[in-house]
Structure 1
Amino acid sequence: MRLEIDVKGNVNVPENPLASQTSRDTFPVTSEAVLDYEERLLRPDAARDDSEVVAAERYYHQATSSSVVNKTATEQTLRDAMRHTIVRRESLPETIYAPEGYFTHGELSLLKSPVSSVAVDRMLPGSFVAVGDRYEVTPDVLCSVMNLTSLDSGKVESEVVEITEKAVRFKLQGEFDASVDGVSTRLRMVAKMTFDRQAATVTWFALAIHETRDISKAEPGFDVTATIRMVRQPMANPAALPSKSTAVRFDAPIPAERLFVELQSRERMAGAMMDRRWRMIQDTPATAVLRMIDHDTSIAQCNLRSLVKLPEGKQWTLDAFLSDVRRTLGDQLVQIAGRDERVSSQGLRVLRVVADGKTQGVPVRWIMMHFSDDQGRRLHATFTMSADQVDAFAGNDAQLAESLRFLEPGDIHDGARPDTGRPLAGPESSAARVGDRAEAPSASDLK
């Protein structure tokens, strides 16, 4: 399986990423991505051969992307240890995870595909056809092939244009409104598809798309054109996949422990293992911004700041950190709801203060954390959320406290993030210290 994606267009960056879907800036973007992998389709033992495939096992021989956003270049690759993956499609967009190890944020974005090789055969008609026959692709098939959450309106029609002894060729065309994880998108598409009669499968799928996607809480919007070329070739035996398929429990959800992602800050030289609701929104010399998003609802934000290095062997006390929190929050502070200190599983000393207060009359909870090691390296983390999101937040600061580690240059795998040069929103509060702007998407995000 080989998938080549070329994208050109514009990224629409919001006026206020926390509250607005109005575009303030538009930046040009170009990107190229290549995914080359072998794929084994997986079904439950009792499933029929013609039943919908809801899982697959892949080995990526190549996974690369290069993009230029506003004249800033970024490259992304996949580590050798992460080439073996599992794809689950019980819900869409499909979920990709590794049987062993964890993807970085950039790797996970790289493997997002605009077209599913698992589902492309579902584009075929369900009966005998003749040249000139037309049929409409059903909404559930479009969602499955295009990795969409739902189809709201519109249609795609397919026409049989040629039949030979070896192949049947189709032309597809249409436009439709859809959503991806709660974000609205509009697509216009023209495609060509070849069905190999001997192999009994689609071996060629070429697609031209114009997509306009709304700005979301996690990513900027975009207006792009993309060309996608998919080549599929049946294999008698696997080349790199294990000879025996990896066990998948179809009667159970994906194991929660497989759905963590490593968020790396190149500027902070730090990384943490968080669940996939957390996104790295910004990483600049001033601050790194993580945001917890669930179906385009913003639950919490975390700002990371580097602090001046202390002399080796010297540490801050919890009382000193508490005083600093009180001074930072000032009149916004209503009460200190908790404080503690620990040594994390990564060997870092962690100071934690929980504070309740108000910003412009709105009840807010802050969780502030101070990380340090024996070499004097320090990092400050501030979680900010509205009081009504505390239950949904569900103690996610514990994930950061246990998994955050300081990185060496060789530990950072994700490509440098584009820097648009100016923030898109001022601080939410003096505690949050947000010079916030939307993340410029990677090449794969634009697919």
Structure 2
Amino acid sequence: MSVRPLNFLVATVGFACSLLPAAVAPAIELGPDDALGVRQSVQLELELGGDLVFEPSDPKQPTKTPVHVEAKLGYDEVRQPGDTVQSIRYYTEASATTKVGNNTRNLQLTDEHRLMVAKLQGGTRLLCGVAGPLEQEEFDLVDVVGDSLVLEWLLPARDVEKGDSWQADMATLQVLTGLDSIEQCEVSNVLSDSNPQYARCQLAGSVQGTIHGAAVTLELDGIYLVNLAQGQLTHFNLAIRQKRQVGPATPGLDVVTKIRIRRTPAASDSPLTDERMATAEKALETPQQLVRTTNPRMGFAAVHDTQWHVTSRAGGNMALRRVNVDGMLTHANITKLAPRTLEADTALGEFRADVLRSLGSSPTNVAADEQWINPQGCRVMSVTVVGKVNDQPVEWHCYQVAPSVENESLHRLALTFTVEQEKVESLGTADRDLVDGIELTADTVEQAIVNPLRK
């Protein structure tokens, strides 16, 4: 496959010394070297431009909305030993400006979440806040393509000469691009030039896969610089043309993303101190990639994993969908309810009757009901109903979340998860886990949010 680097890639990755003539260039070993325990400084710039694509609900309405994102990330990182690739990071900079249509927003990482751990697990990269779950927007800000954790995986495990090429494997590109799965991968690397200190390589090709249940095609065009003494990539520039179909929980994309990464030794006064390292090492033992979704208008916050996607917010209502590699597992509606005194002996029975009444004439049967106190101290009632919709077996998992007796003046929440019966096993306890992560708060006014950073 031919390699055709974009002009901006060549212009931003230059050699500091003259190249050897091709006739005398020997075969060289590119690496890689894990650089365990070495503090490195990573600077990443990202620019995305193109269109969000939506399913047309009205033939007269446009199905595309312009989107533009500029982001800058900077962090000091130390690779850690273990049975997988993992590191500790301290973010010195994380900011982005996003524009969707005529709406512009500025995003920043809060100080309390600058210390994170990154770890490869099950073919994906986990990114976890050491001080606790990141806000959803913060996670979207730092969860970018081109992660430094696997850059060296692009390098071949053999000596190469100028003009030699090698294929990039699916595992590397899945982590590098952030895809959930890859069905087809045709990406090649080539050693384009070298001298005794550095080697310049180029990559190009296409990848087909899925992300958030949507089919996606990527065209990659990149160039990177390898420090031969260190066996590490010091510069990595990549352009990605992405065409993503509209997914079950996310809009489609027709965009070009440009990423520039530069790695240097960290300064002697690195903010990634030994004390912070010791704190973060505990988080590496049992990493959990959790985020926090906050809805001030509805008066609640929920800690959950990243397979949940908020699809709409309107007044006292909110909708979510849970998506895995195969598509949508469940649709959830959350509704704000007025405060009410709940009698312990009768509340569950009344809730069961309310659930059956709300389902109307659909043939239903109560499969289970229970109540408990969630870890945030909220009272939870649960009713599971089985039935059919258009002859399709369906389950409704219905919950009511109420404040503790001491805070009965707070509002309540009603949550209904609709799931096809054949997907109940795949859903597992994800709906209950979400409910257990809910905390009720005093409600405040909130503006509607459109977040293009969600990958």
TM value normalised by structure 2: 0.76
1:160 to 192, 214, 239: 192
State the partner residue of 2:324: 294
How big is the shift at 1:54?
Answer: 1.4
1:305 to 335, 346, 355: 335
How big is the shift at 1:104?
Answer: 2.5
State the partner residue of 2:452: 442
How big is the shift at 1:154?
Answer: 2.1
Q: 1:397 to 1:155 in 2, by over 3 A?
A: closer
**2:95 matched to 1:64?**
yes
How big is the shift at 1:407?
Answer: 3.1
C-alpha distance in 1, partners of 2:45/2:133?
25
1:228 to 242, 259, 262: 259
Q: How does 1:304-383 map to 2 (within 5 A)?
A: 304-309=334-339, 317-373=347-403, 374-383=408-417
How big is the shift at 1:129?
Answer: 5.5
5+ residue gaps, structure 1: 17-22, 48-52, 419-440
How big is the shift at 1:36?
Answer: 0.7
State the partner residue of 1:150: 182
5+ residue gaps, structure 2: 1-41
Q: C-alpha offsets along residues 88-109 of structure 1, whole Å, 9 cap, x if unaligned?
A: 1243331112344112322222
How big is the shift at 1:187?
Answer: 1.8
Q: How many residues align?
A: 400
SS of 1:392's partner is helix
State the partner residue of 1:4: 45
How big is the shift at 1:7?
Answer: 0.3
How big is the shift at 1:65?
Answer: 2.2
Q: 1:121 to 1:401 in 2, by over 3 A?
A: closer
C-alpha distance in 1, partners of 2:291/2:235?
33
SS of 2:249's partner is coil
How big is the shift at 1:39?
Answer: 0.9
**Alignment check: 8 A CA contact 2:214 2:327 kept:** no
**2:309 matched to 1:279?**
yes
Q: 1:343 to 1:202 in 2, by over 3 A?
A: closer
2:76 to 28, 35, 38: 38
State the partner residue of 2:29: none
The one-letter code sitting in structure 2 at the alignment partner of 1:95 is: L
Q: Identity rate of aligned residues, in percent? A: 22
SS of 2:272's partner is coil
Q: 1:202 to 1:408 in 2, by over 3 A?
A: farther
State the partner residue of 1:427: none
The one-letter code sitting in structure 2 at the alignment partner of 1:305 is: T
Q: 1:144 to 1:376 in 2, by over 3 A?
A: closer
How big is the shift at 1:3?
Answer: 0.6
Q: 1:248 to 1:160 in 2, by over 3 A?
A: farther
2:293 to 235, 240, 263: 263
**Alignment check: 8 A CA contact 2:410 2:442 kept:** no
Give me the CA root mean square deviation: 3.4
State the partner residue of 2:433: 399
1:195 to 217, 226, 235: 226
State the partner residue of 2:246: 215
C-alpha distance in 2, partners of 1:444/1:330?
37
**Alignment check: 8 A CA contact 2:189 2:201 kept:** no
Q: C-alpha offsets along residues 60-109 of structure 1, whole Å, 9 cap, x if unaligned?
A: 11122221223233343322222211111243331112344112322222
Q: 1:114 to 1:376 in 2, by over 3 A?
A: closer
C-alpha distance in 2, partners of 1:9/1:278?
25
How big is the shift at 1:359?
Answer: 1.8
How big is the shift at 1:411?
Answer: 12
C-alpha distance in 2, partners of 1:202/1:143?
18
Q: 1:217 to 1:249 in 2, by over 3 A?
A: same
**Alignment check: 8 A CA contact 1:154 1:177 kept:** no
**Alignment check: 8 A CA contact 2:191 2:199 kept:** no
Q: C-alpha offsets along residues 386-409 of structure 1, whole Å, 9 cap, x if unaligned?
A: 223333333444334433122357
Q: C-alpha offsets along residues 279-328 of structure 1, whole Å, 9 cap, x if unaligned?
A: 22322326211222222332222211123456xx6889444433432321
How big is the shift at 1:266?
Answer: 4.4
Q: C-alpha offsets along residues 375-424 of structure 1, whole Å, 9 cap, x if unaligned?
A: 14122211211223333333444334433122357999xx9522xxxxxx
C-alpha distance in 2, partners of 1:336/1:41?
52
State the partner residue of 2:25: none
C-alpha distance in 1, partners of 2:53/2:146?
23
